[in-house]
């Protein structure tokens, strides 16, 4: 299979899966694209939005479009880690002998929907850490691998903060992207009403298998990236750190902690998927700039002044990207240097 | 794999374009500075002659050529050129990536596809200028030195000033010496300096001489020796005390609040001020007299009355009438208070009410007043008593061991007495009643008197304190409800 055919297959699969999800989900094209980008990059997604915007429906539809197992966990304050991972239970065999047997939890699925993840205690939230990072969980001293591909999609509500446990930074860093689901536009709302209040039932076809996803993930890693593009990504991440010498003024003023190296990885991997999805064989500066906000918005921790002044993280990241471009001098005329 | 020759061709073409633009850029800069040099040369045309007319354009040309050469020979980074081409032809960093990865050791199969794709796209490009011409600042001002040089070249030569500086070298010729026949007053100043310079005494020397005190003769630097035969000779100039006094005066000046207010009119008393206010209040009226001003005036009169006058009752009555909406009664009460005030002022002016002097005189005056019962006897505080007499406990003719009680209670209609009896029950308590005029008055007088103050304090608190904005209306409504009752 030629490289052109491989790339063409990726573009086709990407578009087909997006089309299946868009059969059910009205609007939110960018969100759908970013969710698919994250899935092909091998990362997990945190969806943030008020209730009723279709976050859960989007994930369920995505699971229906893939030939993958799907499980859902509704996070509540009394949810325990064993409820997610599973536990050893005593079973009796035919001879009447009793022994421990591991009962898998809902985490043992290809696609895991962690609904309202911030309603569970940090202890339970942390039960996902190992699975998200290592693709395996440890129960009773034994490491048990999770099925591949393993893709966690978590949702959280930004307004009902009472009785919630905000995700710790370590947990947030495990998510490749944090996506903000916004209200639909008027025409999109009309389409939602038309689509959901009629008797017509939409059937989502399965367009991709797990092995296809894994092979396409391999292709992603082959996408070349130019030095100046990679430098821009790393400069953006470094510019989120207030202690860095080249960080811009907004960072120094409003940011307490910047993005980790995982942020740079997320930026470059996401950019590679975006390039391939657009039929390109290389990563461009525009890919990095387009994915800076979803890859970094949950990794940039504002300080007190930033919180008090209500600084929008996306706006801040936009300023950081501009400053990083100036630092890498990509915008300067060549012949003057 | 497609050979990236097309990419290299594109890069070379763009690099050539960049070099040309650089040559233009730096050539303009060189021409500007060469033009400036040419202007300087042409300024000396008078001295240089026709040489200047040859050198000046040569300088301009030289500057331009030097700049252009510098621009042409400046190093061009192929990767920068590739990025420039990517941006110019909207190739999404394909050229830069392909150029970098074509010979990369870690190249993946996808790189071949990238190079092929890039070559295909580059081959389809139309040849066009992509590098903008950048005019430097010197290029924008190049016309100025060129025009100035042209003007200087065409204009007649500028004659440089030929005047020589003053020759300060000593003249070899001997000047005729004029004999002075008259005494010039300046002669004193032109007196040659003494060979031994005058030694100025220092403080240390002087102190040392004085402390020693044993020397019979005046030592060098002992200024007190000058005053040896006077009383001043024994006094040391005390600069420290002088400075200390100066400091104290400066500190006093800094205490502004302790300085007398020289702007205030000391000839007018507080009573006169009240008269003036009442006059101004009553002059422009009458039906539209301001209750607020009248209340303020009565309040001030009542305050003055409490200090030492007998009109506080009238003033209070006026305030009461004013609160009840009876302006006429309030005015009458104010008039009565003013009459009493005027009477007291006149009595003080006549000296009857003045205190001071010897104790014996004060006692006699007090007895005279007691007999005459003049207008100045305005109460216990204004009465003068003889030595040993009075209301103080243990003094005077009072039969009370602690002295007679003062007549303050019920001297004013607003004085309130409290009477009551103990109440029997599980807890000790008292049933009390207010007596006097105040006991018969409704409580709204005090209430109305303070509610305004409370409302003002509330407004101040809302503006000054951090009361949440949503609670402002709630607080105001509460006080509004109080006012309505």
What is the residue-level pLDDT of chain B in tens, covering all 485 positions?
A: 555 788 888 888 888 888 898 899 999 999 999 999 999 988 888 777 788 888 888 999 999 999 999 988 888 888 888 888 888 888 888 998 988 888 888 888 888 888 888 888 888 888 788 888 888 888 889 889 999 988 888 888 776 666 555 555 555 554 555 444 444 444 444 445 445 555 554 444 444 444 444 444 444 445 545 445 555 545 565 667 766 767 776 676 666 555 544 444 444 566 667 777 777 776 654 455 677 888 888 888 888 887 777 888 888 888 888 888 888 888 888 888 888 887 887 776 655 444 444 444 444 444 444 444 444 444 444 444 444 444 444 444 555 556 555 555 555 555 556 666 666 666 666 666 666 666 666 554 456 667 778 888 888 888 777 777 778 888 888 877 776 54
Is A222 within 8 Å of chain B by CB? Answer: yes
Using the Cα atoms of residue B258, residue B262, residue B266 and residue B271 in order, give the sign of their dihedral.
Answer: negative
Is B25 within 8 Å of chain A by CB? Answer: yes
CA dist B440 and B443 (Å) reads 9
CA dist B36 and B144 (Å) reads 9
Q: What is the pLDDT of residue B204?
A: 44
B437: number of Cβ within 10 Å: 15
Predicted confidence band of residue A167 (pLDDT cuts 50, 70, 90): confident
Taking CB atoms and an 8 Å limit, are A229 and B93 in contact across chains?
Answer: yes
Nearest CA of chain A to the CA of B113: how many Å?
6
Q: Which residue of B has its CA nearest to A220?
A: B110
Taking CB atoms and an 8 Å limit, are B84 and A222 in contact across chains?
Answer: no
Q: What is the pLDDT of residue B406?
A: 58
Write out the two tokens for B326: 């009876």
Nearest CA of chain A to the CA of B103: how many Å?
12
CB proximity list for B87: less than 8 A, separation 6 or greater: none
Kindly tell me if the per-residue pLDDT of A7 is higher than 60: yes
- Comparing CB atoms, the residue among B77, B83, B134 nearest residue A336 is B134
pLDDT digits (tens, 9 = 90+) for A239-251: 999 999 888 999 9
CB proximity list for B393: less than 8 A, separation 6 or greater: B400, B401, B402, B403
B362 neighbors B338 (Cβ within 8 angstroms): no
What one-character DSSP code corresponds to residue A165?
-
Taking CB atoms and an 8 Å limit, are B110 and A281 in contact across chains?
Answer: yes
Taking alpha carbons only, the member of A89, A53, A85 closest to residue A71 is A85
Q: What is the pLDDT of residue B400?
A: 59
Q: What is the pLDDT of residue B215?
A: 42
A122 neighbors A79 (Cβ within 8 angstroms): no
Instruction: Show residues of chain B in contact with A337, CB under 8 Å.
Output: 80
Instruction: Show residues of chain A in contact with B134, CB under 8 Å.
Output: 333, 335-336
Q: What is the pLDDT of residue B184?
A: 47
> In DSSP terms, which residues pair with B432 in a beta bridge?
B420
B268 neighbors B277 (Cβ within 8 angstroms): no
CA dist A60 and A66 (Å) reads 10
Q: What angle, rounded to 10 degrees, do the helices at B94-101 and B5-43 form? A: 110
CB proximity list for B230: less than 8 A, separation 6 or greater: none
Q: What is the pLDDT of residue A316?
A: 94
Instruction: Show residues of chain A in contact with B100, CB under 8 Å.
Output: 224, 226-227
Instruction: Show residues of chain A in contact with B138, CB under 8 Å.
Output: none
Is pLDDT larger for residue A154 or for residue B262?
A: A154
Is B404 within 8 Å of chain A by CB? Answer: no
Question: Dihedrals φ, ψ of B42, to 5°?
Answer: -70, -25
The helix/strand/coil state of B7 is: helix
Q: What is the CA radius of gyration of chain A?
A: 21
- Find the angle CA(B245)-CA(B249)-CA(B252) to the nearest 5 degrees: 140
pLDDT digits (tens, 9 = 90+) for A291-324: 999 999 999 999 888 888 888 999 999 999 999 9
Q: Say which range, A95-99, A104-108, A262-266, B167-171, has the weakest mean pLDDT.
A: B167-171
- Comparing CB atoms, the residue among A222, A281, A334 nearest residue B81 is A334
- Interface contacts A/B by beta carbons within 8 Å: 82
Taking CB atoms and an 8 Å limit, are A282 and B98 in contact across chains?
Answer: yes
CA dist B254 and B248 (Å) reads 10
What one-character DSSP code corresponds to residue A200?
P
Q: What is the pLDDT of residue B285?
A: 47
| Residue range A24-39: mean pLDDT, rounded | 90
Q: Which residue of A has its CA nearest to B136?
A: A336
Which among A9, A216, A226, A229 is the top mutation candidate for probing chain B, defined by the most B β-carbons within 10 Å of its own β-carbon? A226
- Find the angle CA(B188)-CA(B189)-CA(B193) to the nearest 5 degrees: 100
Classify strands A136-139 and A175-180 as parallel, antiparallel or unpaired. unpaired
CB proximity list for A34: less than 8 A, separation 6 or greater: A45, A177, A179, A270, A291, A294
B127 neighbors B9 (Cβ within 8 angstroms): no
Taking alpha carbons only, the member of B110, B33, B112 closest to residue B70 is B33
Which among A5, A7, A219, A224 is the top mutation candidate for probing chain B, defined by the most B β-carbons within 10 Å of its own β-carbon? A224
**Mean pLDDT, rounded, of chain A:** 88
Instruction: Show residues of chain B in contact with A224, CB under 8 Å.
Output: 97, 100-101, 104, 107-108, 110-111, 114
- Comparing CB atoms, the residue among B19, B92, B108 nearest residue A280 is B92
Write out the two tokens for A157: 């509500």
Instruction: Show residues of chain B in contact with A226, CB under 8 Å.
Output: 93, 96-97, 100-101
Taking alpha carbons only, the member of A233, A301, A298 closest to residue A267 is A233
What one-character DSSP code corresponds to residue A273?
H
Is A304 within 8 Å of chain B by CB? Answer: no
Task: Catalogue the long-range contacts made by B424-432 (C-beta closer than 8 Å, 24 or more residues apart).
Answer: none
Write out the two tokens for B249: 């005066």
Q: Alpha helix (H) ranges present in B136-269?
A: 137-140, 143-154, 203-212, 239-254
Which among B77, B79, B93, B98 is the top mutation candidate for probing chain A, defined by the most A β-carbons within 10 Å of its own β-carbon? B93
Is B75 within 8 Å of chain A by CB? Answer: no
A254, containing H or E segment: helix A249-254
The helix/strand/coil state of B110 is: helix
Is B2 within 8 Å of chain A by CB? Answer: no
Classify strands A44-48 and A151-156 as parallel, antiparallel or unpaired. parallel
How many Å separate Cα B478 from the centre of its chain? 40
Instruction: Show residues of chain A in contact with B81, CB under 8 Å.
Output: 334
Taking CB atoms and an 8 Å limit, are B104 and A284 in contact across chains?
Answer: no
Enumerate domains of chain A plus CATH numbers: 1-77+107-220 (3.40.50.300), 223-330 (1.10.8.80)
Domain ranges of chain B: 5-154, 270-349, 414-485
| A189-193, A260-264, B229-233, range with greatest mean pLDDT | A260-264
Query: Taking the model in full, what pTM does it have?
Result: 0.58
Q: What is the CA radius of gyration of chain B?
A: 53
Taking alpha carbons only, the member of B398, B342, B356 closest to residue B365 is B356
């Amino acid at each position: 299979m030629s490289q052109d055919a491989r790339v063409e297959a990726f573009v086709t699969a990407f578009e087909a899966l997006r089309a299946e999800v868009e059969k059910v989900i009205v609007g939110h094209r960018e969100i759908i694209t970013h969710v698919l980008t994250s899935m092909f990059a091998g990362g997990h997604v945190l969806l943030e939005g008020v209730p009723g915007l279709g976050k859960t429906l989007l994930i369920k539809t995505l699971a229906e479009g893939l030939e993958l197992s799907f499980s859902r966990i509704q996070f509540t304050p009394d949810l325990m880690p064993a409820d997610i991972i599973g536990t050893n239970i005593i079973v009796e065999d035919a001879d009447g002998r009793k022994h421990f047997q591991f009962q898998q939890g809902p985490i043992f699925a290809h696609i895991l929907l962690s609904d309202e993840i911030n309603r569970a205690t940090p202890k339970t939230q942390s039960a996902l850490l190992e699975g998200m990072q290592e693709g395996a969980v440890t129960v009773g001293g034994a490491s048990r691998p999770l099925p591949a591909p393993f893709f966690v999609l978590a949702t959280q509500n930004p307004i009902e903060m009472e009785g919630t446990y905000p995700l710790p930074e370590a947990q947030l860093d495990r998510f490749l992207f944090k996506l903000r689901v916004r209200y639909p536009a008027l025409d999109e709302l009309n389409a939602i009403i038309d689509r959901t209040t009629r008797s017509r039932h939409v059937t989502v076809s399965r367009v991709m298998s797990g092995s296809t996803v894994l092979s396409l993930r391999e292709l992603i890693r082959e996408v070349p990236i130019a030095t100046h593009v990679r430098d821009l990504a790393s400069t953006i991440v470094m510019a989120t750190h207030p202690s860095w010498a080249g960080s811009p003024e907004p960072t120094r003023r409003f940011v307490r902690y910047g993005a980790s190296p995982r942020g740079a990885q997320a930026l470059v991997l996401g950019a590679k998927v975006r390039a391939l999805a657009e039929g390109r064989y290389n990563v461009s500066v525009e890919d990095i700039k387009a994915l800076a906000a979803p890859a970094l918005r949950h990794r940039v921790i504002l300080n007190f002044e930033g919180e008090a002044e209500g600084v929008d993280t996306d706006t801040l990241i936009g300023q950081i990207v501009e400053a990083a471009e100036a630092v890498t001098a990509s915008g300067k005329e060549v012949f003057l240097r | 794999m497609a050979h990236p020759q097309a990419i290299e061709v594109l890069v070379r073409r763009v690099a050539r374009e960049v070099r040309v633009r650089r040559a233009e850029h730096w050539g303009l800069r060189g021409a500007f500075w060469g033009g400036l040099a040419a202007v300087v040369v042409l300024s000396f045309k008078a001295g240089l002659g026709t040489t200047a007319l040859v050198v000046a354009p040569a300088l301009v040309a030289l500057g331009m050529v030097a700049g252009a050469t510098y621009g042409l020979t400046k190093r061009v980074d192929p990767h920068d050129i590739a990025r420039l081409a990517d941006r110019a032809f909207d190739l999404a960093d394909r050229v830069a990536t392909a150029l970098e990865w074509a010979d990369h050791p870690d190249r993946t199969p996808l790189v071949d596809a990238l190079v092929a794709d890039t070559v295909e796209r580059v081959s389809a490009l139309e040849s066009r200028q992509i590098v903008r011409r950048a005019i430097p600042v010197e290029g924008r001002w190049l016309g100025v030195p060129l025009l100035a040089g042209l003007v200087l070249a065409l204009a007649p030569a500028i004659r440089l000033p030929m005047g020589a500086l003053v020759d300060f070298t000593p003249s070899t010729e001997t000047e005729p010496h004029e004999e002075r026949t008259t005494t010039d007053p300046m002669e004193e100043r032109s007196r040659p300096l003494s060979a031994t310079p005058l030694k100025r005494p220092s403080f240390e020397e002087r102190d040392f001489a004085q402390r020693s005190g044993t020397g019979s003769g005046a030592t060098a630097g002992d200024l007190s020796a000058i005053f040896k035969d006077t009383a001043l000779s024994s006094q040391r100039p005390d600069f420290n005390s002088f400075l200390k006094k100066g400091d104290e005066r400066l500190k006093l000046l800094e205490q502004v609040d302790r300085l007398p207010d020289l702007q205030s009119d000391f000839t007018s008393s507080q009573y006169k001020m009240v008269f003036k206010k009442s006059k101004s209040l009553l002059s422009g009226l009458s039906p539209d007299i301001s209750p607020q001003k009248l209340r303020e005036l009565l309040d001030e009169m009542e305050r003055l009355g409490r200090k030492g006058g007998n009109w506080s009752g009238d003033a209070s009555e006026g305030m009461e009438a004013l609160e009840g909406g009876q302006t006429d009664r309030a005015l009458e009460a104010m008039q009565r208070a003013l009459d009493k005030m005027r009477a007291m002022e006149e009595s003080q002016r006549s000296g009857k009410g003045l205190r001071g002097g010897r104790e014996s005189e004060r006692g006699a005056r007090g007895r005279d007043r007691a007999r005459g019962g003049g207008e100045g006897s305005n109460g216990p505080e204004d009465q003068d008593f003889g030595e040993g007499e009075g209301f103080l406990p243990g003094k005077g003719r009072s039969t009370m061991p602690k002295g007679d009680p003062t007549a303050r209670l019920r001297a004013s209609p607003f004085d309130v007495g409290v009477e009551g009896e103990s109440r029997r029950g599980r807890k000790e308590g008292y049933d009390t009643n207010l007596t006097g005029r105040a006991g018969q008055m409704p409580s709204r007088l005090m209430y109305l008197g303070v509610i305004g103050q409370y409302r003002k304090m509330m407004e101040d608190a809302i503006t000054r304190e951090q009361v949440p904005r949503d609670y402002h209306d709630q607080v105001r409504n509460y006080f509004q409800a109080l006012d309505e009752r």
